[in-house]
């Protein structure tokens, strides 16, 4: 049941499948001349006219050197096309675009324009649809728009160009100069390893090879352009969306398919509807004690959204980390049963209007005190747990990731598992697999070592994506138990699978 609730939640919350959290991007600056790209591209040599950088702008002005967390493409002087997942936790007042940018440490000749409104596809992240539109607060005078691909155009086999300020290799360095690389649009079958995470109608698969190796977009390139180069002027056909790692030939980059008629029409909308904006953090009101009723106060919003609520609670360990995270209902109020004792509580407010879905979490309250119980005329109270350092302050991420094994393969007796971890709170930051041999071990004590658990830490392969590679295994059947964890220590429920290691 809980799982159903959480799954429903994850869907309705508009959880970014493989969403890149801007804060998640490591900022390593390299002064080296870069051979790499994107991955295996080249230094663009100057700004790319249609490409802008997305930067956070507290109080209207971005930090300098620019910290580019995503990119976008100029549609017209007041609109930029980007990825919805770049905009999951950011509202217009938090954002600016930088046009005519080449080096992130050089602002000469650049143009910074604040954002007036954010629009994300109303279905995103369901079915892909990783499309976001920024309406700018002023008109760009630098840069030029890229025309949009036409609806229903055939894409497979066509040459394109990708570009961005993203990582030079998987978990690698961040360039300071804009990188670019030629790619081809692949047949959908090239992305079959993504399984159901690849939705051919709304996504396209692209990549390439260069003398340096496989060409790909990487973390930080998100939202940026894939333009076609077989057209008179370069036309925007894809938006950098996601991938498993970077430059893995088995997992080409995935882009938003702008030739999809619905995406095409939305990308061209004359006046994109503004997504709702919270005027502050929501709050949980009421006394956090058993028997009391708490209310999720959404605060005020601009954009007249329809609001819904999800209660979340957790226990806090000695280190102040939440565990045993639970969803506790979707009403605006929550009456605290005795089962809620000592748990910290928060609520997510989900605001939906024509401009997309904005989800934001309230400050955490609690731990929930135990109400005095009357025993033979005397009031006895159970002391509440000590207030954890984590409560009462900043919002806590109480949402555990949901881990799934999305791919498995074995070759030469070594197996590779791909783990996808969705998380509507902070993204999963680590994952591991514990495996145990199920067949061919001696019975009794003698076989004990053979049946022992082995733990392997997964290698991070992108936001919410992890890869585990085993050592050489015996030809036998194994059970794997996989878990993912986020930065707040929330651990997913284990996902298990059994796997027979084949002879070859």
Active site residues: 85, 130, 222
Q: From CA 503, how far away is CA 92, in angstroms rounded? A: 56
The single residue among 242, 309, 435, 478 that binds ligand 4AZ, judged by CB under 6 A, is 242
What whole-number distance in Å separates Cα of residue 70 and Cα of residue 133?
A: 13
Q: How far is the CB of 75 from ligand 4AZ (least distance, A)?
A: 21
Tell me the window of 130-138, 146-154, 174-182, 218-226 that interacts with ligand 4AZ (CB under 6 A): 218-226
Cβ-based nearer residue to ligand 4AZ, 242 or 478: 242
- What is the C-alpha to C-alpha distance for residues 366 and 351, in angstroms, rounded to an integer? 25
Question: Using CB under 6 A, which of the segments 47-55, 214-222, 282-290, 334-342 binds ligand 4AZ?
Answer: 214-222
- Taking contact as CB under 6 A, which single stretch among the options 106-114, 237-245, 267-275, 375-383 is the one that binds ligand 4AZ? 237-245
Cβ-based nearer residue to ligand 4AZ, 184 or 463 = 463
**Beta strands 111-120 and 132-136: pairing type?**
antiparallel
Question: According to the binding rule CB under 6 A, does residue 240 interact with ligand 4AZ?
Answer: yes
Give the separation between CA 111 and CA 142, rounded to whole angstroms.
7
Q: How many CB atoms lie within 10 A of CB 105?
A: 12
Host H or E run for residue 43: strand 42-43
Answer for which of 219, 357, 429, 483 binds ligand 4AZ (CB under 6 A) is 219
Residues 6+ apart with CB under 8 A from 415: 408, 409, 469, 470, 473, 478, 499, 501
Applying the rule CB under 6 A, the residues between 2 and 41 that interact with ligand 4AZ are 20
Contact map string, positions 398 to 437, toward ligand 4AZ, x by CB under 6 A: ----------------------------------------
Interacting residues of 9 by C-beta distance below 8 A, sequence separation 6+: 310, 327, 424
Per-residue burial over 256-267, b if 16 or more Cβ lie within 10 Å, else e, is bbbbbeebbebb
Closer residue to ligand 4AZ (CB): 251 or 478:
251
Cβ 452 to ligand 4AZ shortest distance, Å: 35
Q: Quick check: 463 binds ligand 4AZ (CB under 6 A)?
A: yes
Binding to ligand 4AZ by residue 348, rule CB under 6 A? no
Cβ neighbours around 233 below 10 Å, total: 11
222 contributes a contact to ligand 4AZ by CB under 6 A: yes
Tell me: does residue 225 bind ligand 4AZ (CB under 6 A): no
- In 3D, which of 410, 408, 396 has the Cα closest to residue 362? 396
Return d(Cα 6, Cα 326) in angstroms, integer: 8
Chain center to CA of 335: 32
**For ligand 4AZ, which residue has the nearest CB?**
243
Residue 196 vs 378, nearer CB to ligand 4AZ? 196
The Cα–Cα gap between 388 and 316 comes to 7
With CB under 6 A as the contact rule, the residue among 358, 462, 480, 491 that binds ligand 4AZ is 462
Whole-angstrom Cα Rg for the chain: 24
Selected from 217, 360, 467, 495, the binder of ligand 4AZ by CB under 6 A is 217
CB of 302 to ligand 4AZ, least distance (A): 29
Considering only the stretches 236-244, 285-293, 322-330, 487-495, report the one whose residues sit in contact with ligand 4AZ under the rule CB under 6 A.
236-244
Looking at beta carbons only, is 85 or 326 nearer to ligand 4AZ? Answer: 85
From candidates 128, 160, 224, 253, binder to ligand 4AZ by CB under 6 A? 253
- How do 203-210 and 301-302 pair as beta strands? unpaired
Residues in 180-199 that interact with ligand 4AZ by CB under 6 A: none
Decide whether 217 or 259 has the Cβ nearer to ligand 4AZ.
217
Cβ atoms within 10 Å of 287's Cβ, excluding its own: 14
Q: How many residues bind ligand 4AZ (CB under 6 A)?
A: 14
For residues 134, 139, 140, 146, the Cα torsion angle rounded to the nearest 10 degrees is 60
What residue ranges bind ligand 4AZ (CB under 6 A)? 20, 216-219, 221-222, 240, 242-243, 246, 253, 462-463
């Amino acid at each position: 049941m809980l799982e159903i609730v959480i799954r429903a939640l994850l869907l309705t919350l508009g959880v970014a499948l493989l969403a890149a959290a801007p804060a998640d991007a490591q900022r390593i600056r390299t002064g080296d001349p870069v051979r790499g790209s994107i991955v295996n591209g080249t230094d663009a040599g100057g700004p790319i006219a249609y490409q802008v950088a997305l930067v956070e702008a507290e109080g209207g002005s971005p930090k300098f050197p620019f910290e580019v967390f995503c990119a976008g493409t100029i549609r017209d002087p007041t609109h930029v096309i980007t990825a919805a997942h770049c905009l999951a936790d950011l509202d217009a007042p938090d954002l600016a675009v930088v046009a005519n940018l080449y080096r992130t440490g050089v602002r000469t000749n650049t143009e910074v324009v604040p954002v007036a409104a954010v629009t994300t596809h109303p279905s995103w992240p369901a079915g892909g649809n990783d499309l976001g539109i920024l309406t700018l607060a002023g008109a760009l005078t630098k840069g030029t728009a890229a025309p949009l691909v036409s609806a229903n155009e055939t894409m497979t086999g066509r040459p394109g160009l990708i570009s961005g300020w993203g990582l030079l290799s998987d978990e690698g360095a961040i360039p300071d100069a804009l990188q670019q690389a030629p790619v081809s649009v692949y047949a959908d079958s090239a992305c079959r390893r993504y399984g159901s995470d690849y939705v051919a109608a709304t996504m396209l698969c692209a990549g390439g090879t260069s003398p340096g190796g496989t060409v790909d977009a990487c973390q930080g390139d998100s939202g940026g352009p894939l333009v076609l180069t077989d057209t008179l002027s370069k036309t925007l056909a894809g938006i950098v969306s996601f991938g498993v790692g970077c430059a893995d030939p088995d997992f080409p980059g995935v882009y938003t398919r702008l030739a999809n008629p619905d995406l095409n029409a939305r990308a061209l909308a004359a006046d994109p509807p503004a997504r709702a904006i919270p005027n502050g953090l929501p709050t949980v009101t009421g006394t956090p004690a058993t028997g009391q009723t708490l209310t999720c106060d959404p605060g005020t919003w601009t954009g007249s959204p329809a609001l819904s609520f999800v209660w979340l609670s957790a226990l806090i360990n000695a280190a102040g980390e939440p565990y045993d995270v639970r969803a506790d209902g979707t009403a605006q109020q929550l009456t605290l049963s005795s089962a809620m004792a000592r748990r910290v509580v928060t609520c997510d407010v989900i605001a939906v209007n024509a401009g997309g879905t904005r989800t934001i979490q309230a400050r955490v309250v609690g731990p929930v005190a135990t109400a005095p119980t009357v025993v033979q005329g005397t009031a006895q109270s159970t002391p509440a747990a000590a207030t954890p350092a984590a409560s009462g302050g900043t919002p806590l991420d109480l949402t555990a990731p949901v881990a799934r094994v999305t791919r498995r393969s074995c070759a030469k007796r070594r197996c590779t598992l791909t783990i996808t971890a969705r998380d509507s709170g902070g993204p999963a930051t680590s994952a591991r697999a514990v495996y145990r041999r199920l067949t061919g071990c001696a019975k009794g004590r003698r076989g004990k070592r053979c049946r022992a658990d082995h733990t392997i830490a997964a290698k991070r392969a992108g936001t919410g994506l992890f890869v585990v590679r085993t050592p050489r295994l015996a030809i036998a059947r194994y059970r794997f138990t996989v878990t993912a964890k986020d930065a707040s220590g929330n651990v997913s429920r284990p996902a298990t699978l059994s796997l027979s290691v084949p002879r070859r």
